[in-house]
Amino acid sequence: MKKRILSFLLAALSMANLFADEGMWPLTMVAKLQDPMQAKGLKLTAEDIYSINNASLKDAVVRLMQKSGRMFCTGEIISREGLFLTNHHCGYGAIQELSTPQDNILSNGFWAKNRSEERPANFNIGLLRKVEDVTDQVLNGIAINQDEAIRAKAVSDATAKLKSTLVDALGADKGNYVVEVVAFWGGNRFLAMYYEVYRDIRLVGTPPENVGKFGGETDNWRWPRHTCDFSMFRIYSDTANKPADMNANNKPYSPKKFFPISLKGTQHGDFAMIMGYPGRTTRYTYSEGVRYLGGKERPMRVQVRRDIMDVYEKYMKQDPTIRLMYSDKLAGLGNYWNKFNGEAGELSKPEMIEKRKNLEREFENWVKANNKQDVYGEVTSLYDEVYVSLNKYGLYPVYLQDGIANSQPMMFAMQFSALTRDAKNGKLGAEGINMAKMMQSGIDDMFKEFHAPIEKEVLASVIRHLYEDLDHANLPISLTDLVTKYKRDYKKLAEYLWKASIFTDKVKLQKFLASPNLGKLLKDPIYAIVTGYNGKLNGDLKPIFDQISAKKVRADRLFLSALSEMYPDKAMAPDANGTMRMTYGTVMNYDPKDGVHYKEFTTAKGYLEKFKAGDFEFDAPKNLLDLIRNKDYGQYADKDGELHTCFLTDNDITGGNSGSPVINGNGELIGTAFDGNWEAIASDFGFMPAVQRTISVDIRFTLFIMDKLGGASHLLDEMTIVK
């Protein structure tokens, strides 16, 4: 076992690969990257970036986490008083939640004039304190080609036991920590991540939506960009600088490290480093997996999401109150609609599939030449079996995630299935009745962002997709019978469901919860559809999906292990998995296609060129346009006299990196990463060095908006600004 682990470490840490700039590198590997980074312009040492015993740059990078614990974005601390930046689209949900029609800070912007005006934000942040390699503890006595079910249980048991041990070892501090034991390289290596979680986070400032989201979905994933995609929050702690629940007596958190801010700007070829929390990449996907995703799975996601978004936008354009109500939902749907749309096109290109097939042929030849059939001989057949099954059954969970989960009445019904857990003899049990009582207090929140005309049309659209796109043999009778009865008139079917179901109206749902009845719940037509669909997934189809998962996990692990043996001198970055990574590169332009050249920065002139008064995506505040026309840029202007808005680097990032700090060679903040470019939209499946670019807000533009537009110059006083 130790020999195999050593093989992986050697493969991962080798610098022989000519494309060493590719990769979202774990911090434990930074020391091995120091020389190539310094050759590109880094003035710091690896210890300055990541140190276990001393303050380092990693202590200034924050992981945005929902109250449930799910990570969703990155941020960076920019003052000794816990002030941090992230993207506007990362803070969007919190800003929307704090907005009302009477005080619409999402639309109007907001800047706290003092600490007492800062507003509570409904999320946590995690600070990475320590990383430990725990591979030996997890895989002790477990063979790589052991029976998959036995191996999976052994790894799960070892991971759970180890996590409990690590948490308990924190002693009195354990209530403030989340410890994650995370698999790398397909489960060939495991690292333990220690996050100290701060729970009192407050909104300090945000630009108006038509600045923070300028360009909307039209500009999303595109260059040139001009949006000032940032928002600003503050971390609060108890008097001992430890995490605490929100309390008036809490004080601003005093960080171990924060980023100084550079006003010097960037030049083509300047060193640029990004640290953050990329979510997921799958760069070792099998060729048939690429074909399935590009030809079937991604196109279906795109169509389902687009139909729902069309409904949202139709009503949002008619009423500003509805626009506020659904803005966060539309942003969430739209971001990945755009991404999936681009991926569908790129992944279906023959050259993408052929590139994978070439690697697979090399793998198969290597297995035969080195007599490795006993360990790796089953990989190809496992992958083939996986994708035959996914082509037949793969869309069922997709439509649960992208269809049913985006219909509020359907999701309400899904949540209510918990009431039946202890039901007996046709009646709800004590647990169900108690749960119904607790649910009564949450009814207002359930319908807070619920507009009946929208939800009725979305319901019709989702049911249409389920029936028209999937094999009826695996759909619940409660759905197929209704579609037959209404002769595939989905509008009429939705009208019937709207009248017959308790999940379409707050009053009806309140009445049910006041006197819950199992029979009434089971007869509800929306409840019958969603629980029937879920029942199919967790019943008839579960053995199929369990088998798909087991085969794919096994094939992935064996394939990645083989690659480490095949290419011992090649640097291999593990797929992103929500843990902190570092990526380095340079400020860089690119040529997206023949005859077209994109320079590496944009300026405020773009606002004047793109502006459309009253437009859903390209409106802009009059006072901002006046500042730009008058070139009233102050200290934030570049030496060319213009206000630079966004810039490009060739860093390797993905979703989750939103809000990440972009850092120059001196360790100073030069921008905030917020997007990738369309030409590299499929980069989660393979690095694309010629065209892959990260789009970031120039930090000077951020400060300009904060100061000149927001009138929040007092916040600059707590920052360290380098001119």
- Over residues 352-362, the pLDDT tens digits come to 899 899 999 99
Q: Copy the structure tokens of residue 89.
A: 């689209």
- Interacting residues of 193 by C-beta distance below 8 A, sequence separation 6+: 128, 130, 131, 179, 180, 181, 182, 579, 580
pLDDT of 612 reads: 97
Find the angle CA(280)-CA(284)-CA(286) to the nearest 5 degrees. Answer: 120
Sign of the C-alpha dihedral computed for residues 31, 32, 33 and 35 taken in this order:
positive
For 25, the enclosing helix (H) or strand (E) is strand 25-26
Which residue type is seen at 99?
A: S
Sign of the C-alpha dihedral computed for residues 320, 322, 324 and 326 taken in this order:
negative
C-alpha–C-alpha distance, residues 158 and 139, integer Å: 8
pLDDT of 425 reads: 85
Sign of the C-alpha dihedral computed for residues 382, 386, 389 and 392 taken in this order:
negative
229 is catalytic: yes
Count the neighbouring beta carbons within 10 Å of the beta carbon of residue 533: 24
For 324, the enclosing helix (H) or strand (E) is helix 320-347
Q: Copy the structure tokens of residue 351.
A: 């050259």
C-alpha–C-alpha distance, residues 266 and 643, integer Å: 12
Confidence of residue 665 (pLDDT cuts 50, 70, 90): very high
CA distances from 413 to 404, 418, 459, 503, 536 (A): 10, 10, 13, 6, 16
Q: Which region, left, alpha or beta, applies to residue 510 given φ > 0 means left and ψ of -120 to 50 means alpha?
A: alpha
Sign of the C-alpha dihedral computed for residues 37, 40, 44 and 45 taken in this order:
positive
Q: Copy the structure tokens of residue 538.
A: 């967790």
658 is catalytic: yes
C-alpha–C-alpha distance, residues 233 and 5, integer Å: 41
C-alpha–C-alpha distance, residues 68 and 221, integer Å: 29
Domains in the chain: boundaries:
53-259, 287-542
Q: Write down the residue that tokens 């639309």 correspond to.
A: 107
User: What digits encode the pLDDT tens for the residues 535-568?
Assistant: 999 999 999 999 999 999 999 999 999 998 998 8
- Whether the CB-CB separation of 191 and 173 falls below 8 Å is answered with no
C-alpha–C-alpha distance, residues 658 and 675, integer Å: 7
Confidence of residue 11 (pLDDT cuts 50, 70, 90): very low
Q: Can you spell out the DSSP letters for 445-467?
A: HHTTT--HHHHHHHHHHHHHHHH
Confidence of residue 205 (pLDDT cuts 50, 70, 90): very high
546 is catalytic: no
- Whether the CB-CB separation of 665 and 643 falls below 8 Å is answered with no
Q: Which residue among the candidates 89, 226, 451, 465 is catalytic per the annotation?
A: 89
CA distances from 621 to 104, 107, 403, 615, 657 (A): 15, 10, 36, 12, 28
What HEC string does 565-582 produce?
Answer: HHCCCCCCCCCCCCCCEE
Name the packing angle between helices 525-538 and 490-500 (round to 10°). Answer: 110
Give Rg (Cα) of the chain. Answer: 26
| Whether the predicted pLDDT of 12 surpasses 80 | no
Which residue type is seen at 56?
A: S
User: What digits encode the pLDDT tens for the residues 671-716?
Assistant: 999 999 999 999 999 888 889 999 999 999 999 999 999 999 999 9
C-alpha–C-alpha distance, residues 449 and 329, integer Å: 9
| Whether the predicted pLDDT of 407 surpasses 80 | yes
DSSP code of residue 198 = E
C-alpha–C-alpha distance, residues 411 and 405, integer Å: 6
Long-range (24+ apart) CB contacts under 8 A made by 30-34 are 30/582, 33/582, 33/584
Q: Write down the residue that tokens 């999906």 correspond to.
A: 545
Q: Write down the residue that tokens 């980023």 correspond to.
A: 259
Confidence of residue 423 (pLDDT cuts 50, 70, 90): confident
CA distances from 317 to 296, 458, 492, 669 (A): 32, 17, 25, 38
Q: Copy the structure tokens of residue 373.
A: 């059939």
- Tally helices (H) and strands (E) across the chain: 29, 23
CB neighbour class for 24 (10 Å; exposed up to 12, middle 13-18, buried from 19): buried
Confidence of residue 1 (pLDDT cuts 50, 70, 90): very low
C-alpha–C-alpha distance, residues 7 and 565, integer Å: 7
C-alpha–C-alpha distance, residues 48 and 129, integer Å: 15
Q: Write down the residue that tokens 């180890």 correspond to.
A: 162
- Across the chain, mean pLDDT equals 94
| Whether the predicted pLDDT of 9 surpasses 70 | no
C-alpha–C-alpha distance, residues 243 and 7, integer Å: 40
pLDDT of 21 reads: 63
| DSSP helix/strand/coil, 625 | helix
Q: Copy the structure tokens of residue 280.
A: 């997921």
Q: Can you spell out the DSSP letters for 12-74?
A: HH----TTTT-S-EEGGGHHHHHHHHHHHT--S-HHHH--SSS--GGGGEEEEE-TTS-EEEE
C-alpha–C-alpha distance, residues 211 and 620, integer Å: 6
CB neighbour class for 305 (10 Å; exposed up to 12, middle 13-18, buried from 19): buried
Q: Which residue among the candidates 229, 402, 684, 698 is catalytic per the annotation?
A: 229
SS3 content of the chain, % helix, strand, coil (to 5): 50, 15, 35
| DSSP helix/strand/coil, 234 | strand
C-alpha–C-alpha distance, residues 327 and 307, integer Å: 16
Cα 58 to its chain centre, rounded Å, is: 20
| DSSP helix/strand/coil, 505 | coil
C-alpha–C-alpha distance, residues 59 and 54, integer Å: 10
CB neighbour class for 303 (10 Å; exposed up to 12, middle 13-18, buried from 19): middle
User: What digits encode the pLDDT tens for the residues 120-151?
Assistant: 999 999 999 999 999 999 999 998 888 888 99
| Whether the predicted pLDDT of 2 surpasses 60 | no
User: What digits encode the pLDDT tens for the residues 145-196?
Assistant: 888 889 999 999 999 999 999 999 999 999 999 999 999 999 999 999 999 9
Report the pLDDT averaged over residues 288-305.
96
Beta strands in 658-705 (DSSP E): 661-663, 669-676, 694-698
Q: Which residue among the candidates 658, 660, 683, 696 is catalytic per the annotation?
A: 658
- Whether the CB-CB separation of 458 and 308 falls below 8 Å is answered with yes
Sign of the C-alpha dihedral computed for residues 314, 98, 416 and 469 taken in this order:
positive
pTM of the model: 0.86
Count the neighbouring beta carbons within 10 Å of the beta carbon of residue 307: 18
Percent of the chain surpassing pLDDT 90: 88
Q: Copy the structure tokens of residue 253.
A: 């958190």
514: Cα within 13 Å, side-chain hemisphere: 6
pLDDT of 697 reads: 98
